[in-house]
Amino acid sequence: MPVIVVIGAQWGDEGKGKVVDLLAEEADVVTRFSGGDNAGHTVVNRYGKFKLHLVPSGIFSPRATAIIGNGAVINPGVLLDEIGQLNQRGVDTSRLFISDRAHLVMPYHVLLDGLEEESRGGKAIGTTRKGIGPAFADKIARLGIRMSDLLDKEVLRERLHFIIGGKNAILTKVYEVSPLSEDDIYNQYCRYSEQLSPYIRETTIMLEEALKRKELVLLEGAQGPLLDPDFGTYPYATSSSPLAGGGCLGAGLGPTQINQVLGVFKAYCTRVGSGPMPTELKDEIGHLIRERAHEYGTTTGRPRRCGWFDAVAARFSTRINGFTRAAITRLDTLDTLPRLKICVGYKLDGESIDYFPASATALDRCQPVYEELAGWQVPTSDIPQFDQLPPLARQYITRLEELVACPVSLISVGMRREQTIWKMAIL
The C-alpha angle 248, 199, 193, rounded to 5 degrees, equals 115
345 beta partners: 369
Residue type, 167: K
Residue 13 touching Mg ion (CB under 5 A): yes
Residue 126 touching ligand IMO (CB under 6 A): yes
- Closest distance between ligand GDP and the C-beta of residue 184, in Å? 33
User: Residue 58: what are its φ and ψ, rounded to 5°?
Assistant: -85, 5
- Closest by CA position to 196, among listed 159, 156, 158, 223: 156
* Residues contacting residue 15 through CB under 8 Å, at least 6 positions apart: 42, 264, 266, 327, 329, 330, 412
Residue 54 touching ligand GDP (CB under 6 A): no
* Residues contacting residue 296 through CB under 8 Å, at least 6 positions apart: 290, 302, 303, 304
CA distance 324 to 263: 8
Residue 16 touching ligand GDP (CB under 6 A): yes
- Closest by CA position to 156, among listed 244, 71, 76: 76
Residue 13 touching ligand IMO (CB under 6 A): yes
Residues within window 266-295 making contact with ligand IMO, judged by CB under 6 A? 272-273
| Residue selected from 133, 144, 245, 307 as contacting ligand IMO according to rule CB under 6 A | 133
The C-alpha angle 415, 416, 420, rounded to 5 degrees, equals 90
The residue among 200 and 272 lying less far from ligand GDP, judged by its C-beta, is 272
- Closest distance between ligand IMO and the C-beta of residue 125, in Å? 5
The residue among 34 and 203 lying less far from ligand IMO, judged by its C-beta, is 34
CA distance 56 to 355: 33
The C-alpha angle 338, 344, 349, rounded to 5 degrees, equals 120
First and final CA of the chain: distance in angstroms?
Answer: 8
Contact, 200 vs 192, CB < 8 A? no
Ranked by CB distance to ligand IMO, the top (closest) residue is 273
Residue 307 touching ligand IMO (CB under 6 A): no
Residue 300 touching Mg ion (CB under 5 A): no
The residue among 221 and 245 lying less far from Mg ion, judged by its C-beta, is 221
- Closest distance between ligand GDP and the C-beta of residue 373, in Å? 19
Residues within window 66-105 making contact with ligand GDP, judged by CB under 6 A? none
State the number of binding residues for ligand IMO (CB under 6 A): 25
The residue among 126 and 375 lying less far from ligand IMO, judged by its C-beta, is 126
| Residue selected from 1, 2, 26, 44 as contacting ligand GDP according to rule CB under 6 A | 44
What is the b/e burial string over 71-99, where b = at least 16 CB atoms within 10 angstroms of the residue's CB?
A: bbbbbbbbbbebbeebeeeebeeebbbbb
Residue positions annotated with a catalytic role: 13, 41
| Residue selected from 4, 24, 39, 334 as contacting ligand IMO according to rule CB under 6 A | 39
| Residue selected from 45, 99, 127, 203 as contacting ligand IMO according to rule CB under 6 A | 127
Stretch that binds ligand GDP, among 130-138, 283-291, 327-335, 340-348 (CB under 6 A): 327-335
Residue 37 touching ligand GDP (CB under 6 A): no
- Closest distance between Mg ion and the C-beta of residue 103, in Å? 21
Question: Binding mask 206-245 vs ligand IMO (x if CB under 6 A, - otherwise)?
Answer: ----------------xxx--x----------xx------
Residues in the chain: 427
| Residue selected from 64, 115, 132, 244 as contacting ligand IMO according to rule CB under 6 A | 132
The residue among 135 and 312 lying less far from ligand IMO, judged by its C-beta, is 135
Residue 426 touching ligand GDP (CB under 6 A): no
Residue 138's binding partner among ligand IMO, Mg ion, ligand GDP, none (Cβ under 5 to 8 angstroms by kind) is none
74 beta partners: 104
Residue 329's binding partner among ligand GDP, ligand IMO, Mg ion, none (Cβ under 5 to 8 angstroms by kind) is ligand GDP
| Residue selected from 40, 134, 273, 368 as contacting Mg ion according to rule CB under 5 A | 40
Q: Footprint of Mg ion on this chain (CB under 5 A)?
A: 13, 40, 298
Q: Footprint of ligand IMO on this chain (CB under 6 A)?
A: 8, 11-13, 35, 38-41, 125-128, 130, 132-133, 222-224, 227, 238-239, 272-273, 298
Q: Footprint of ligand GDP on this chain (CB under 6 A)?
A: 8, 12-18, 40-42, 44, 293, 298, 329-330, 332-333, 412-415
